[in-house]
Structure 1
């Protein structure tokens, strides 16, 4: 298998049962069923609470050897405003995540919108204390980080430590004029950051903020397929996460991207739903 992993932000989504997941799937079997169809998942739950050892060991045992979990750093650390004061808590979190064993993919730090280039020294100190044996990606949301000089400085710091810069693509969800409250709420919650493809580590973590109308997503996913192929040819490992405010569409976006990759010669196993996913208009 090529070093490409595709997945969603969750696995325990009940409306998927009978569509993306087999009919009759119990809550306890949802991760197993999900991991038969996709190869990675964000663990957003760790943003709010750190799972105990038995839970992490169960998740690891419920997934195949090629599956990867990408946990989010707890908000008590990432949104504290002072990462330097959270180094001990960070080390404890990283130690806990080791119970996932070989299933642990990159951990990612999602910084709050107020964490700006003025906090560069704080981030620098925190990264210096990070265990570089554990892959890490950093997502910045303050627009100041995207100014040329600040971006160059940030990218240099991340590259120095072998840390990835999370690629967040909000173009699809921000496409078009709408009065749909679901889309408006999604636009309000998601960061308004510029499109960029900055590679600072041996791996890439992409978060694609899709639109419920798959016809909007498809050309952008085709573009990402070209970019991902180039990344794979450069020897990078790619983790691609599909987000949608209507979560029923997220696995379909994974399938569109997987099909685009296969069409470009990438040996990626397609998601294999037990019954045809409800097809939405792509054109």
Structure 2
């Protein structure tokens, strides 16, 4: 299989049982069942609390050797406004996540919307203390980071440390005019940042904020398939995560992207879900 990993933000979503996951899948079996169908997962739970050692070891034992976890740094660090004061706490978190062994993919730092280019020196100090043997990606949400000069300065800093810049695509969820409260809530919660494809490390971490109407997602995922193929041809490893405010759709978005990659000659043997929620005509 090529160095492309596809997944969602969660694995323990009960409405998937009997649809994306096999019927009668218990809570304890959900990660194992998920890992039989997708090859990576964000661990958003670590944003709120650091799991204990038995939990992390169980995650590792429930997944195949080819699976990768991409945990989010706790908000107590990422949203503190002062990363440099939390180096020891960061190192403790890294050590806990390293219990995953080779199944640990890039850890990612999601900075809050108030963390601006004015905090550059703080980020610089924090990155200087990061263990370079552990892959890291950084997501910025303050729009100031996307101005040309600030973006170049950030990209240079990340590249200097071999750190990836998280690619966040919010185009799908912001498409069209709507009164749908689910969509409006998603627009409010997700970062309204410009589309960009900045590569600063040997890997890429993509977070695609999809629309529940898969017809909106499909052409954008086709565009990403072309981009990912080019990245793979350049020797990059790609972690692509599908997000949707209607979580039932997220695995289907993975399937759309996987099929688009296969159509472009990429070897990605994604298993067919046991009972798809909705099959598009292309399948």
For structure 1, the 5+ residue unaligned runs are none
Structure 1 Cα separation of the partners of residues 101 and 194 of structure 2 = 35
Structure 2 Cα separation of the partners of residues 78 and 240 of structure 1 = 22
- Other-structure match for 2:173: 173
Q: CA deviation at 1:109?
A: 0.1
User: Partner of 2:96: helix, strand, or coil?
Assistant: helix
User: Partner of 1:212: helix, strand, or coil?
Assistant: coil
- Other-structure match for 2:130: 130
Q: CA deviation at 1:273?
A: 1.1
Structure 2 Cα separation of the partners of residues 271 and 174 of structure 1 = 30
The answer to whether 1:103 aligns with 2:103 is: yes
User: Partner of 1:50: helix, strand, or coil?
Assistant: coil
Structure 1 Cα separation of the partners of residues 98 and 202 of structure 2 = 20
> Following superposition of structure 1 onto structure 2, how do residues 1-283 of structure 1 map, counting pairs within 5 Å?
1-279=1-279
User: Partner of 2:115: helix, strand, or coil?
Assistant: coil
| Alpha carbons 1:215, 1:281 under 8 Å: kept | no
Q: CA deviation at 1:272?
A: 2.2
Alignment: residue pair count? 282
**Distance change >3 Å, CA 3–CA 59, structure 1 → 2:** same
User: Partner of 1:175: helix, strand, or coil?
Assistant: coil
Q: CA deviation at 1:275?
A: 2.4
Structure 1 Cα separation of the partners of residues 186 and 280 of structure 2 = 20
TM-score normalised by the chain length of structure 1: 0.98
Structure 2 Cα separation of the partners of residues 260 and 54 of structure 1 = 38
Structure 1 Cα separation of the partners of residues 227 and 15 of structure 2 = 32
| Root mean square deviation, CA, Å | 0.9
**Distance change >3 Å, CA 28–CA 250, structure 1 → 2:** same
**Distance change >3 Å, CA 226–CA 137, structure 1 → 2:** same
Q: CA deviation at 1:277?
A: 3.3
Structure 1 Cα separation of the partners of residues 256 and 48 of structure 2 = 31
Structure 2 Cα separation of the partners of residues 64 and 187 of structure 1 = 35
Q: CA deviation at 1:269?
A: 1.1
| Alpha carbons 1:214, 1:281 under 8 Å: kept | no
Deviations 1:16-51 (A, max 9, x none): 000000000000000000000000000000000000
Q: CA deviation at 1:210?
A: 0.1
Structure 2 Cα separation of the partners of residues 276 and 200 of structure 1 = 37
Deviations 1:233-282 (A, max 9, x none): 00000000000000000000000000000000000012321223333688
Q: Runs of 4+ in structure 1 displaced over 6 angstroms?
A: none
Structure 1 Cα separation of the partners of residues 272 and 56 of structure 2 = 25
Query: Which stretch has the larger CA shift, 123-132 or 273-282?
Result: 273-282
Structure 2 Cα separation of the partners of residues 74 and 265 of structure 1 = 38
Structure 2 Cα separation of the partners of residues 121 and 269 of structure 1 = 44
Structure 1 Cα separation of the partners of residues 190 and 267 of structure 2 = 32
TM-score normalised by the chain length of structure 2: 0.98
